[in-house]
Amino acid sequence: MAAGGGGSGDPLSRAGVPCAFSPQNQAYFALASTDGHLRVWETGNNRLHQEYVPSAHLSGTCTCLAWAPARLQAKESPQRKKRKSEPVGTSDQIDLLALGTAVGSILLYSTVKGELHSKLISGGHDNKVNCIQWHQDNGCLYSCSDDKHIVEWNTQTCKVKCKWKGDNSSVSSLCISPDGKMLLSAGRTIKLWVLETKEVYRHFTGHATPVSSLMFTTIRPPNESQPFDGITGLYFLSGAVHDRLLNVWQVRSENKEKNAVMSFTVTDEPVYIDLTLSENREEPVKLAVVCRDGQVHLFEHILNGFCKKPLTSNCTIQIATPGKGKKSTPKPIPVLAAGFCSNKTSLLLVYGSWFQPTIERVALNSKEPHICLIRDISNYWAPKVETALTKVRTPVMNSEAKVLVPGIPGHRAAIKPVTSQTEELESKRKLGDKEVSIEERLGAMDIDSKKGKEDLPQTNSFPVLLTQGLESNDFEMLNKVLQTRNVNLIKKTVLRMPLHAVIPLLQELTKRLQGHPNSAVLMVQWLKCVLTVHASYLSTLPDLVSQLRTLYQLLDSRVKTFQKLSHLHGKLILLITQVSASEKTKEMICPGQKAKLVYEEESSEEESDDEIAEKDSDDNWDEDEEEKESEKDEDVNEENEEEDEDSEEKDEEENGEDRDVTIEKELNGDSDLDPENESEEE
Amino acid sequence: MEEEESLRVVRCGGSELNFRRAVFSADSKYIFCVSGDFVKVYSTATEECVHILHGHSKLVTGVQPNPNNHLQLYSCSLDGTIKLWDYLDGILIKTFVVGHKLHALFTVAHAEDSVFVTINKEKPDVFQLVSVKLPKSSSQEIEAKEVSFVLDYINQSPKCIAFGNEGEYVAAARDFYLSVYFFKKKTTSRFTLSSSKNKKHAKNDFTCVACHPKEDCIASGHRDGKIRLWRNFDDDKKYTYTCLHWHHDMVMDLAFSVTGTSLLSGGRESVLVEWRDATEKNKEFLPRLGATIEHISVSPAGDLFCTSHSDNKIIVIHRNLEASAIIQGLVKDRNIFTGLLIDPRTSALVLNGKPGHLQFYSLQSDKQLYNLDIIQQEYINDSDLIQIELTKAAFDCQGNWLATVEQRQEKETELELQMKLWAYNKKTQGFVLNTRVGMPHEDHITALCFCKAEKSENPTLVTASKDGHFKVWILTDDSDIYRKAFGWTCDFVGSYHKYQATNCCFSEDGSLLAVSFEEIVTIWDSETWELKCTFCQRAGKIRHLCFGRLTCSKYLLGATENDFLCCWNLLSCELEWSTKLNVKVMETDPNSENIAAIAQSSVGSDLFVFKPSEPRPLYIQKTISREEVHWGVFVPRDVPESFTSEAYQWLNRSQFYFLTKSQSLLTFSAKSPEEKLTPTSKQLLAEESLPTTPFYFILGKHRQQQDETLNDSSGNELVQLPLTENIPAISELLHTPAHVLPSASFLCSMFINSLLLSKETKSAEEIPDDVDMEEERKSDDSDEENDFTEKIQDTDTIDLGEDILHQLSKSEEKELRKLRKVDYSWIAAL
């Protein structure tokens, strides 16, 4: 029993499953698998369109299939002209599919109705049908079989029109000439028949094994000057079982030349061949050959006369799995079929298992001789009944996707150049620090800090720890410092921290602010404190804008959420601090703070000592802002200036804070917060 | 293409399928639905359109199968005709001219030569149900003027009229009234919902009516979600009704199953509810059907239901409430915000689809490819909810990136915006979310465009917003020590005097970016993001903006709201020309210099195709559509056409599609209708010829003959199909103790032979099968049974013997014998 479909036991049977693209725009792909099922896939969305199981699918497996030429569905009556719009013909509908079976019957299946349309049995073949070809015009069907005969069917009546012996052995392949008047048939040798008389017109040598595919490659003769009788001068192609050469033959007027004109070499037996017809002399024939080893070979050649050497492919396409990790190596995915799209520049590839093939459209614009496409088909194995019905595709949304929300760098404007700058600066500074630090650590600094520690009551500040943490970027150390909730402690620490650590601290704070909201709450305290205390220092920095841009954006976007509330808050704070500060000025004691660690001569405190009071520093800040904005365009700048002018009214929290600083400074002099703290301690 | 007719506007698919109830054919193989001016015949198995029935010149409003011939179909239309079709071949058989505008069609089995239609005579809102007598005549076109009045003041919708109990009465509902007309008594009863004046019940007006096929029972659906079952309505006083309540919103449609045992209802919840035995307890549900159920219909065979949905689809559902097929048109449920896009990868048309989805629609095959779920949130069908809308989408030139913008706005100040950037993953052949941007702008995003320059190595996206800014987003390397990654970040934020940014557009080579701020167009250098120059015409806000292409790339075009179309020269920074034209749609052809502009005039929309460099338009077509055109797009052709005439050359490399206000997708065709019927494709209609299977001979033919003999020998109940008990071989097989049974191989042939009773009987004389006959005689368990078989044999041989013999051809007989001899040998192996 020939249960194995194409007779798997037969060594001379062709490899691969019978499959075909629907004509014209390749909307469907029909595949008759070895389990006897016929499946039709939609090439556009890779969806199973329908599945059909012939009643005798176990005994009479499908051995070959062919799509009928498209019929036009919309029948319009031309006399009516009144209608304003009409359907665009619903294009040509693809319908009938002819299936040849292993027992010799031919089934016509209607893909539109999803049912068997008719069955051609009587007077036909009594052995395996090897090839079916539809006539492009008159609706006839030609089939050839292992019983050595070729049969011409009338599909309208489902009767045999003619049956003749085609060869001494089984006839394995057929092809109809472009003008529809000749028929090529092949067992091992190739014969060209005149269809009207059923007489042999030419003989060709053929192959040593049964020919599995025949195809005309040109529809016009190479020499257009000569009168064309429809067949002379045309080239055709043949491929055979177990043969790695595809031969090209030319139909010639003289009967003597029987050998192949040229040949193409491929890596394995051809399984599926598709080509684009060349319509004129200059246009090359494009040929896609799918081999049994799962590769696709592409040839592009202008057919003009002899060539002794077999031609190798211009391009080879392979498909493989990605092979993640070290254990799983990439595995090749076999290509089942390849067909040219109607624009001739892209290729439809069918790959994977015949049970669930993947259909992909690949553009052919690369000049590379070898293309390896990496495809992950693991998720195609699960049958997708649900999606087949609802036609919904869910794109992947995984956690790896980047999330941009207001305040995160990259949401408002570029940060790339800025970060590089700061990195440079930081590295410079660090280098400088390290150069000095060896000396200093050994010398002054260490002793200094120790002294400080000994001198001051150990309790409520850890500037040293903070500085060390910032320098070493020690996460735990920083956590210890930054996760404190004591406002006084924060104030004190900030006040005593070395100035060079301010910017790194700010950057660390910015980073943490973008993190978890819980920690951000703490960081806001720190940030507030740092900005209040070190505003004057910050305003002296020339590259402040670029260094703190992310922070600025962050504040900017956060403030926008409750704009009015923060306005109110800012104003209230302003009032409260003014009141409290004015109260304190009365009992203010001049801070006896000696500069213990002055290695930056122009520290901010001194500056503000020199009564560069509020206005000046405010101006500084304005300048900063201007600098910031100047990178944008002038218009924005104008806006900002406007804003700055009436900043009292529409200020944002940040600015509010700045003003807090300045105003307090104005009132308290430079070390404004110190006395407060001390008094509280007392 | 020798003879080119004038360009015509043609509909290119995606027409409405859910206008009226879909109707099943008698064998439930086909489904008929009205679609614009046509009736479409779909196969229920393959979802494919088998035929389009053309013939009506106006909207088709109803379709019904001919109750007297199950291969025929009636359809009625606003053009005042009823047409009779043969749907298997798609042939128009007859046309009955009625004369009035017909709004709905009903057929009843007992009224053989008349159908019922609804017409409106005088006032626009008053409809009548009338019966039309269809005269018998051989001619193609027949006047059918014999109209008799049945019911007045009814609802226009056919859902509110139902014929019950095999056509004994008709129920029609309107507002708060239910009227029932009895054909036999010729009386009308009218029922008013008692509490219709009450405010609490203000929403209980009728929405649909269905009648029980066997009993006197009417089901009515109401706006408040209740279903009422009316009984005893032949009495004005004693009538009763019961309530079924599950729907929380209006009941859209009702249908009884064929036997009347269950009632189907559906509504906005998009859940099909099956009420078994008309009780509230016995309910079955089929949920998640995707969109509001508009219509429900039941196949006459009873094995299938179908529901039509507001998103232009028909779902075929099995009796056991399992969806089996979906016939999906272009989704038209809601507004199209995204416009028409072309996916460069599949060259499919992309636009808003199901809520929260983008639909990919293949223009070649006129089929929806799939819906891409962008928002990925369960959609809740509720009219009061403010949903997340997918407002903008854009593809880059290769189709590797897709950008989508979704928004939800509850109150004026509470705008939620999200932009998602999807990367196409070639390995898995699908889109993967790359970057999600929350609140990319503070206000609505008005435009979104990718830089489409082929050579640009870095993809660039520009968003323009009403908040006065435009942002440039670029793809950057986000790799860290853990993984390699790419992500989008903002590269530049630009603004111009606080004006709202309304449009943005890249030049062909990607070197310039044009952003319009209300009336002003600004040109930016895409390398440095410097403002290069501004154009201002003071002619109203810019509505559309585009650069010229190829040889016309030095031009920039802008269409304003004050009906001006301006063309600026970018080299001289001067206005090249301007014209007064109310441009609604302006699209550039990706394959040529041409630009298509659709202008709105008082009578309709006009099309102008022009090159920016030339003062005269290439092509003008007036009134391409009576409605406003909302969107347009050029679709590159796979295979270029070769129109020689200069006027059509703009269609050579691309095709122009446009979408009107009522969401019909239209395009241009220069082919004449005759030409489309090329002789090669005209006829490939092979006859259906299936060889009848042996089983058909055994069962089908035999049963037919049996039925006939049953009719002939009336009342003779003895003549029946041979039941298994009646076959002596089987009864013997079953009753004999196993240890005395002969070998299985011996029994098998006997068993098979006994199954082939019919053949044995009719050819008993020819092939005397001794063994079988003997067996039969031996194994008479009861005399009666034997008698039966004898009788069967007699009747068969006498009445039909010849007939069957005649029908059995030689080959078939051979087939039968082969079957008997060969195929069952495997049983022996058991």
End-to-end distance of chain B based on CA atoms, in angstroms? 68
Partnered with residue A51 across adjacent β-strands are: A39
List A residues 126-145 in contact with B (Cβ-Cβ < 8 A).
Answer: 136-137, 139
| Element at B749 (helix H, strand E) | helix B744-755
Q: What tokens were used for B493?
A: 């934020």
Dihedral angle at the C-alpha atoms of B762, B764, B765, B766, nearest 10 degrees?
90
Q: How far apart are CA A579 and CA A590, in angstroms?
A: 19
A454 has pLDDT over 60: no
Q: How far apart are CA B354 and CA B335, in angstroms?
A: 11
Q: How far apart are CA B93 and CA A450, in angstroms?
A: 109
Beta-strand relationship, B91-97 and B141-143: parallel
Handedness of CA A457, A459, A461, A464 (dihedral sign): positive
**Among all residues of chain B, which has the CA nearest to that of A48?**
B46
| Residues B675-689: b if buried by 16+ CB within 10 A, e if exposed | bbbeebbeebebeeb
- Give the per-residue pLDDT at B792: 44
Q: What counts of helices (H) and strands (E) characterise chain A?
A: 16, 32
3-state secondary structure B311-380: CCEEEEEECCCCEEEEEECCCCCCCCCCCCEECCCCCCEEEECCCCEEEEEECCCCEEEEEEECCCCCCC
**Among all residues of chain A, which has the CA nearest to that of B673?**
A78
Q: Which residue has the higher pLDDT, A470 or B826?
A: A470
Q: What tokens were used for B284?
A: 């079955």
Handedness of CA B481, B486, B490, B492 (dihedral sign): positive
The gap from C-alpha A39 to its chain's centroid, in whole angstroms, comes to: 29
Q: Is B271 strand, coil or helix? A: coil
Beta-strand relationship, B401-409 and B169-174: unpaired
The reply to whether residue A27 touches residue B438, judged by beta carbons under 8 angstroms, is no
Which of B49, B432, B531 lies nearest to residue A90, judging by beta carbons? B49
Handedness of CA B730, B734, B740, B743 (dihedral sign): positive
The reply to whether residue A374 touches residue B426, judged by beta carbons under 8 angstroms, is yes
> If you compute the radius of gyration of chain B from its CA atoms, what whole number of angstroms results?
35
- Would you place residue A462 in the very low, low, confident or very high pLDDT band (cuts 50, 70, 90)? confident
The reply to whether residue A113 touches residue B46, judged by beta carbons under 8 angstroms, is yes
Percent of chain A with pLDDT over 90: 9
List A residues 55-114 in contact with B (Cβ-Cβ < 8 A).
Answer: 55, 68-78, 80, 82-92, 95-96, 108, 111-114
Q: Give this complex's ipTM.
A: 0.73
The reply to whether residue B638 touches residue A343, judged by beta carbons under 8 angstroms, is yes
CA atoms within 13 A on the CB side of A143: 35
A498 has pLDDT over 70: yes
Q: Measure in Å the smallest separation between the Cα of A531 and chain B Cα atoms.
A: 27
End-to-end distance of chain A based on CA atoms, in angstroms? 106
A490 has pLDDT over 90: no
- Give the per-residue pLDDT at A325: 64
| Residues B177-189: b if buried by 16+ CB within 10 A, e if exposed | bbbbbebeeeeeb
Mean pLDDT of A265-281: 85
Q: What tokens were used for B207?
A: 């929405």
Q: How far apart are CA B554 and CA A553, in angstroms?
A: 38
Q: Is B476 strand, coil or helix? A: strand
A58 has pLDDT over 70: yes
A1 has pLDDT over 60: no
- Give the per-residue pLDDT at A676: 38
- Would you place residue A636 in the very low, low, confident or very high pLDDT band (cuts 50, 70, 90)? very low
List A residues 231-270 in contact with B (Cβ-Cβ < 8 A).
Answer: none
Q: A560 to chain B: which residues are within 8 Å by CB?
A: 442
A459 has pLDDT over 80: no
The set of residues, in sequence order, having a beta carbon less than 8 Å from that of B185 and lying 6+ positions away, is none
Q: How far apart are CA A483 and CA A468, in angstroms?
A: 16
Whether the CB of A342 is below 8 Å from some CB of chain B: the reply is yes
Q: Are B466 and B518 in contact (CB under 8 A)?
A: no
Question: By C-alpha distance, which of A603, A497, A628 is closest to A553?
Answer: A628
Q: Are B83 and B94 in contact (CB under 8 A)?
A: yes
| Element at A203 (helix H, strand E) | strand A199-204
Mean pLDDT of A617-626: 44
- Would you place residue A235 in the very low, low, confident or very high pLDDT band (cuts 50, 70, 90)? confident
Q: B653 to chain A: which residues are within 8 Å by CB?
A: none
Q: How far apart are CA A466 and CA A468, in angstroms?
A: 5
- Give the per-residue pLDDT at A389: 62
- Give the per-residue pLDDT at B277: 83
Question: By C-alpha distance, which of A238, A224, A236, A298 is closest to A266?
Answer: A298
The set of residues, in sequence order, having a beta carbon less than 8 Å from that of A366 and lying 6+ positions away, is A315
Q: Which residue has the higher pLDDT, B585 or A410?
A: B585
**Among all residues of chain B, which has the CA nearest to that of A154?**
B686
The reply to whether residue B493 touches residue A398, judged by beta carbons under 8 angstroms, is no
A455 has pLDDT over 60: no
Q: Say which residue the tokens 């149900």 belong to.
A: B129
- Give the per-residue pLDDT at A426: 41
Question: By C-alpha distance, which of B261, B270, B255, B250 is closest to B305?
Answer: B255
Mean pLDDT of A38-64: 84
The residue type of A523 is: M
- Give the per-residue pLDDT at B676: 39
Q: How far apart are CA B696 and CA A632, in angstroms?
A: 85
Q: Which of A341, A411, A557 should one mutate to test binding to chain B, selecting the residue with the greatest count of B CBs within 10 A? A: A411
Q: Are B513 and B496 in contact (CB under 8 A)?
A: no
- Give the per-residue pLDDT at A665: 41
Q: How far apart are CA A337 and CA A357, in angstroms?
A: 10
Mean pLDDT of A212-230: 77
| Residues A134-154: b if buried by 16+ CB within 10 A, e if exposed | bbeeebbbbbbbbbbbbbbbb
| Own/partner long-range contacts of A339-344 (Cβ < 8 Å, ≥24 apart) | A339/A21, A339/A26, A339/A274, A339/A288, A340/A274, A340/A275, A340/A276, A340/A286, A340/A288, A341/A25, A341/A26, A341/B638, A342/A24, A342/A25, A342/A26, A342/B638, A342/B639, A343/B638, A343/B639, A344/A276, A344/A286
Q: B291 to chain A: which residues are within 8 Å by CB?
A: none
Partnered with residue A250 across adjacent β-strands are: A235
3-state secondary structure A14-69: CCCCCEEECCCCCCEEEEECCCCCEEEEECCCCEEEEEECCCCCCCCCEEEEEECC
Q: How far apart are CA A257 and CA A251, in angstroms?
A: 9
Which region among A74-83, A582-591, B450-459 has the lowest average model confidence (pLDDT)? Answer: A74-83
Residues in chain A: 682
Which of A69, A117, A415 lies nearest to residue B688, judging by beta carbons? A117
Q: Which residue has the higher pLDDT, A655 or B17?
A: B17
A104 has pLDDT over 80: yes
Q: Say which residue the tokens 């008997």 belong to.
A: B820
Q: Are B167 and B111 in contact (CB under 8 A)?
A: yes
Question: By C-alpha distance, which of B87, B552, B261 is closest to A113?
Answer: B87
Q: Measure in Å the smallest separation between the Cα of B30 and chain A Cα atoms.
A: 9
Whether the CB of A116 is below 8 Å from some CB of chain B: the reply is yes
Mean pLDDT of A323-340: 82
Size of interface A-B (CB pairs under 8 A): 278
Q: A85 to chain B: which residues are within 8 Å by CB?
A: 8-11, 664, 666
Question: By C-alpha distance, which of A300, A288, A291 is closest to A332?
Answer: A291
- Give the per-residue pLDDT at A525: 83
- Would you place residue A255 in the very low, low, confident or very high pLDDT band (cuts 50, 70, 90)? low
Whether the CB of B499 is below 8 Å from some CB of chain A: the reply is no
Q: How far apart are CA A305 and CA B101, in angstroms?
A: 70
Q: Which residue has the higher pLDDT, A378 or A652?
A: A378
Q: Which of B684, B688, B810 should one mutate to test binding to chain A, selecting the residue with the greatest count of A CBs within 10 A? A: B684
The reply to whether residue A74 touches residue B376, judged by beta carbons under 8 angstroms, is no
Handedness of CA B417, B423, B425, B429 (dihedral sign): positive
The DSSP line for A50-117 is: EEE--TTTTTS-EEEEEEPPPEE-----TT----S--B-TT-EEP-EEEEEETTS-EEEEETTTTEEE
The reply to whether residue A118 touches residue B688, judged by beta carbons under 8 angstroms, is yes
Q: Which residues of chain B have pLDDT under 70?
A: 1-5, 13-14, 194-202, 333, 455-456, 671-729, 757-830
Whether the CB of A457 is below 8 Å from some CB of chain B: the reply is no
Q: Which residue has the higher pLDDT, A627 or B80?
A: B80
- Give the per-residue pLDDT at A631: 45
Q: A412 to chain B: which residues are within 8 Å by CB?
A: 490, 493
> If you compute the radius of gyration of chain A from its CA atoms, what whole number of angstroms results?
42
Q: Is B131 strand, coil or helix? A: strand
- Give the per-residue pLDDT at B652: 85
Q: How far apart are CA B315 and CA B33, in angstroms?
A: 12
| Element at B91 (helix H, strand E) | strand B91-97
